[in-house]
Amino acid sequence: MEINPNFVLEECPICRGNGFVVHEGGWNVQVECSDCSAHTVYVEYETEEEKREAEQQVVCLWNLGKVIKSDVGE
């Protein structure tokens, strides 16, 4: 797991905590809250260019408040 701090992230839409960009497995990325379990969907990528786009996409989703809170049953 690798954390990239080079993004402007809004506060967590759930708890106002800090969000951060998380890469997993070198092929997908999401934004996750450091305080609660809220996170965006994963976006997969293959190339460096797709990786950048994927990062921007999840940051955008996060900033729009489109997050999943896993302990809320829906």
Closer to Zn ion by CB, 43 or 67: give it.
Answer: 67
Binding residues for Zn ion, per CB under 5 A? Answer: 12, 14-15, 17, 33, 35-36, 38
Closer to Zn ion by CB, 11 or 53: give it.
Answer: 11
| CA-closest candidate to residue 65, choices 39, 42, 46 | 39
Closer to Zn ion by CB, 52 or 70: give it.
Answer: 70
- What is the rounded CA–CA span in Å between residue 46 and residue 18? 27
Minimum CB–partner distance for residue 50 and Zn ion (Å) = 27
Cβ–Cβ under 8 Å, residues 19 and 27: no
